[in-house]
Amino acid sequence: MESSNIIQTEYSEHMQKAFIDYAMSVIISRALPDVRDGFKPVQRRILYDMNELGVKFDKPFKKSARIVGDTMGKYHPHGDSSIYGAMVVMAQDFKEGVPLVDGHGNFGSIEGDGAAAMRYTEARLKKITQDAYLSDLDKDVVDFVPNYDETEKEPAVLPVKVPNLLINGAEGIAVGMTTSIPTHNFGECIDGVIAYMKNPDITTEEMMNYIPGPDFPTGGIIANKDDLLEIYETGIGKIKIRGKIEEEKVKGGKERLVITEIPYTMIGANIGKFLNDVGNLVESRATADIVDITNQSSKEGIRIVLELRKGADVEALKNLLYKKTKLEDTFGVNMLAVADGRPETMGLVSIIRHHVNFQYEIATRKYKTLLAKELDKKEIQEGLIEACNVIDLIIEILRGSKNVADARACLTTGETANISFKSKESEKMAKQLHFTERQATAILEMRLYRLIGLEIDALIKEHDETVENIARYEDILSHRSSMAKVIIKELQAFKKEYDSPRKTVIDNLAEAVVVEKPVEEHDVMFLMDRFGYAKTVEMATFDRNRDAIEAENKYIFKTTNLGRICVFTDKGQMHLIKVKDLPAAKMKDKGTPIDNISNYDSKVERFIYLCDLAELSGKKIFFGTALSMLKIVDGSEFVVGKKTTAATKLVDGDEVLCASMIEFTDTLVMRSKSDAFLRITCEQIPEKKKAAAGVRGMKLAKGETLTDIYVLKDGDNEMVEVKGKQIALNRLHIGNRDTKGVKK
């Protein structure tokens, strides 16, 4: 039996190599754009497939599902949702600097609505895509590579003639790296390319005379103009973007703020978040100037209206919106792209340099292809012109030939052995013929109408044009300056046809500063029902509706709008609630669950006692548990800054039954499961730290627990029912702590 060849390798080395291979595959073949055409593979394949399908701008729309399916089957063997998602983005004018796909149907909205399913939408290429992104594919200007299963060919890069990486920007997350390139103005990018072609030593600062900064499709204002130079030098940095706010006067001397442009980063769900954030500013009383907010945005553009109260401080409110909401946001720039087969972070001039080098490359290949075609045409044209001059001889050769091969041999080499001539002179002339193979083929295939005089004149004119083209192409290929003129002329034509005005304003704006006005402290009434819904009401409202409020709520006490509420729970915890986090409600309002504004969790604990934190100073808090552990804690121990703190120590299986403010003149009644009662004075309960467990209040039998603990003030006349009888707690005999109590 032959021994197997077993290759041993270190597992860690194998994993390292495998991960590096995977990472590079994600970086190069999925997540990062190529600096030459500015596309990721999925985008490139979609556009190429649409071009192959003939879905041109002047042709009918085709179902998106057809385009996605064809792309997936031929070029991009990944999920259809990723292909459709990429195609949708290329059709959205609020995401792309220049949309490349013409979408028909629901292709999503700026407010985050998703596109309709691909079976409902249709698409075709935009005219600019055909003119500047896909033209010349038939002129051998780029390399074609096998697709994933080697049954088709696809371009390794598209022959894009404009700096698409800058125009449409890019976003992508690879392995260990990300790219984030903002969009730029189409005409400005072309001006920048032309400026570089005229001066390859141009500096970034000089380039910014042509490309002053990003131009986002959503407009807005770039607020840190001075930082752009460093960002464009290094390819990394942060751009501050603000939305555009306009002021409008309304009747009654009031004003409204209208947001007409938003930061690019606010696209989608962040518009809804902005509306919620503004609502929260009003609810939290950070501003009282906004009385209403409506989103009146439509296909025509963004329009978010904030109605203001009379006399509102407009400038202060603008600063508040910039500071506390997404109306001012940061766009992180990381201009990372694949250059020469590897990821590279590039500055503005570097990106344009790569683009221009690519333009010279595709122009060289284009004009070499065109020159070869013109040389072929010239050869054939010269053959036909010469043939027309000796057409009688050629006709005689054709009539005297037995087959095409003999006629071709005579035309190309002067071989006359197998051809019969009318005269020796004709044979002598025929021996002097030396047409090329292509010329001979063209002559043999020539139709008789080409012998008409006008046709011969047209042929001569066409030949002259061909000669001119050859001279022009040779000049372009021989002189870089001539090629530059051709490229620049084409770029200027693109700018003339497709340029659009800049949308984003670039400026240096002072940082938004919010001066928080001191809130005037005043008394309010805290209300909470038995379900944990809490709110505050003004004192006047409480006085007018005292009976209804007392009937509907479990906890009612006075506090201040700047105060804090203590929530003691059966788990021995104390949670703090800021009164300002509670809604200042009307009588009919339900309030807010305390779960939402504190660490209290109604699923695992229940509240035992609530009070105003300010009341605790100088007061004593009593704690009693189900296992009859009692203690008194000085209230000052609970005046803490933490949202949650341990109020008492509990052993496993124990829980707090009672927490309450007490006086040492009060008495305490404990009741067990077996209806044993023990009444003691509070003087018998020692004062302990909050971290202590306490002392035993009633001796309990094994497995016995307390069910209730009652704190009695002097004069209280609380009654409880035991086996159908009413018992007055204040008439119970006062006993000693740590005794068994009396059964009833």
Tens of pLDDT, residue by residue over 653-703, are 999 999 999 998 899 999 999 999 999 999 999 999 999 999 999 999 888
Q: Does residue 5 have a pLDDT over 80?
A: no
Structure tokens, 385: 């012109």
Cα distance between residue 51 and residue 160, in whole Å: 14
Question: 347 near 339, Cβ under 8 Å?
Answer: no
- pLDDT tens by residue, 323-347: 999 999 999 999 999 998 888 999 9
Q: If you ran DSSP here, which 8-state letter would residue 24 be given?
A: H
Cα distance between residue 230 and residue 165, in whole Å: 19
Point out the least confidently predicted range of 120-129, 283-292, 446-455, 652-661: 446-455
Cα distance between residue 501 and residue 187, in whole Å: 8
| Average pLDDT, integer, range 4-17 | 72
Of 557, 561, 558, 551, give the one whose Cα is nearest residue 530.
551
Q: CB burial class (10 A; 0-12, 13-18, 19+) of residue 200? A: exposed
Q: CB burial class (10 A; 0-12, 13-18, 19+) of residue 443? A: buried
Angle, CA 359 vertex, CA 166 and CA 167 arms, to 5°: 15
Regarding pTM above 0.85, the answer is no
Q: Does residue 495 have a pLDDT over 50?
A: yes
| Half-sphere exposure in the Cβ direction for 92 (13 Å, CA) | 22
Cα distances (Å, whole numbers) of residue 318 to 242, 294, 382, 471:
11, 17, 77, 64
Cα distance between residue 510 and residue 223, in whole Å: 8
Question: 717 near 674, Cβ under 8 Å?
Answer: no
Alpha-carbon torsion (648, 653, 659, 662), positive or negative: negative
The values of phi and psi at residue 550, to 5°, are -65, -30
| Average pLDDT, integer, range 267-293 | 86
H/E element, 360: helix 348-389
Write down the domain spans for the chain. Answer: 39-159, 244-326, 363-498, 523-743
Cα distances (Å, whole numbers) of residue 117 to 69, 70, 102, 109, 375:
13, 16, 16, 14, 51
CATH number for the region 363-498 comes to 1.10.268.10
Q: Does residue 4 have a pLDDT over 70?
A: no
Angle, CA 369 vertex, CA 363 and CA 372 arms, to 5°: 135
Cα distance between residue 194 and residue 161, in whole Å: 12
Of 380, 364, 445, give the one whose Cα is nearest residue 142.
364
Question: 444 near 464, Cβ under 8 Å?
Answer: no
Cα distance between residue 288 and residue 317, in whole Å: 10
Q: Cα torsion at 245, 246, 251, 252 (round to 10°)?
A: 60
Question: 459 near 383, Cβ under 8 Å?
Answer: no
Question: What's CA 421's distance to the chain center, in Å?
Answer: 82
Cα distance between residue 675 and residue 669, in whole Å: 12
Q: Does residue 131 have a pLDDT over 70?
A: yes
- The 3-state DSSP composition of the chain as helix, strand, coil percent (nearest 5) reads 40, 25, 35
Angle, CA 85 vertex, CA 80 and CA 88 arms, to 5°: 125
CATH C-level class of 523-743: mainly beta
Question: 346 near 35, Cβ under 8 Å?
Answer: yes
AA letter at 106: N
Going by pLDDT thresholds of 50, 70 and 90, the confidence category of residue 450 is low
3-state secondary structure of 674: coil
Active site residue 120: yes
Angle, CA 102 vertex, CA 98 and CA 108 arms, to 5°: 85
Question: 514 near 323, Cβ under 8 Å?
Answer: yes
Of 729, 733, 696, give the one whose Cα is nearest residue 715.
729
Q: If you ran DSSP here, which 8-state letter would residue 20 be given?
A: H
Choices 3.30.1360.40, 3.40.50.2300, 3.50.50.60, 1.10.3210.10: CATH for 244-326: 3.30.1360.40
Per-residue burial over 270-290, b if 16 or more Cβ lie within 10 Å, else e, is bbeebeeebeebbeeebbebb
Cα distance between residue 55 and residue 63, in whole Å: 10
Average pLDDT along the chain: 90
Going by pLDDT thresholds of 50, 70 and 90, the confidence category of residue 23 is low
Q: Which stretches of 237-301 are DSSP H helices?
A: 269-283
Question: 639 near 616, Cβ under 8 Å?
Answer: yes
Cα distance between residue 353 and residue 100, in whole Å: 23
Going by pLDDT thresholds of 50, 70 and 90, the confidence category of residue 352 is very high
Q: Which stretches of 402-527 are DSSP H helices?
A: 404-413, 424-430, 437-445, 453-478, 480-498
Alpha-carbon torsion (281, 282, 288, 289), positive or negative: positive
Cα distance between residue 640 and residue 617, in whole Å: 11
Cα distance between residue 548 and residue 602, in whole Å: 26
Point out the least confidently predicted range of 114-118, 206-210, 448-452: 448-452
Going by pLDDT thresholds of 50, 70 and 90, the confidence category of residue 514 is low
Cα distances (Å, whole numbers) of residue 387 to 399, 442, 456:
15, 10, 11
Start-to-end CA distance of the chain, whole Å, equals 94
pLDDT of residue 208: 96
Number of neighbouring beta carbons within 10 Å of residue 529: 14
- pLDDT tens by residue, 590-645: 888 999 889 999 999 999 999 999 988 889 999 999 999 999 999 999 988 888 99
Domains 244-326 and 363-498 fall in the same CATH topology:
no
The residue annotated as part of the active site, out of 120, 367, 449, 498, is 120
Going by pLDDT thresholds of 50, 70 and 90, the confidence category of residue 1 is very low
Cα distance between residue 437 and residue 327, in whole Å: 73
Choices 1.25.40.10, 3.40.50.1970, 3.90.199.10, 3.90.1150.170: CATH for 39-159: 3.90.199.10
Q: Who's near 411: CB < 8 A, 6+ residues apart? A: 394, 397, 433, 435, 439, 440, 443, 444
Cα distance between residue 730 and residue 719, in whole Å: 9
Q: If you ran DSSP here, which 8-state letter would residue 133 be given?
A: I
Q: Who's near 481: CB < 8 A, 6+ residues apart? A: none
Q: Which residue has the higher pLDDT, 391 or 352?
A: 352
Cα distance between residue 425 and residue 422, in whole Å: 9
| Half-sphere exposure in the Cβ direction for 697 (13 Å, CA) | 36
Question: 691 near 733, Cβ under 8 Å?
Answer: no
Q: Cα torsion at 531, 533, 539, 541 (round to 10°)?
A: -90
- pLDDT tens by residue, 359-373: 999 999 999 999 999
H/E element, 681: strand 676-681
Percent above pLDDT 70 for the chain: 95
pLDDT of residue 28: 58
How would you classify residue 317: left for phi > 0, otherwise alpha for psi between -120 and 50, otherwise beta? alpha
Cα distance between residue 136 and residue 363, in whole Å: 10
Structure tokens, 201: 């030593």
Of 139, 110, 123, give the one whose Cα is nearest residue 267.
110
- pLDDT tens by residue, 402-445: 888 888 888 888 888 888 888 888 888 888 888 888 888 888 88
The values of phi and psi at residue 255, to 5°, are -130, 160
Of 395, 440, 401, 392, give the one whose Cα is nearest residue 420.
401
Cα distance between residue 166 and residue 184, in whole Å: 6
Q: Name the maximum alpha-carbon separation found in the chain.
A: 156
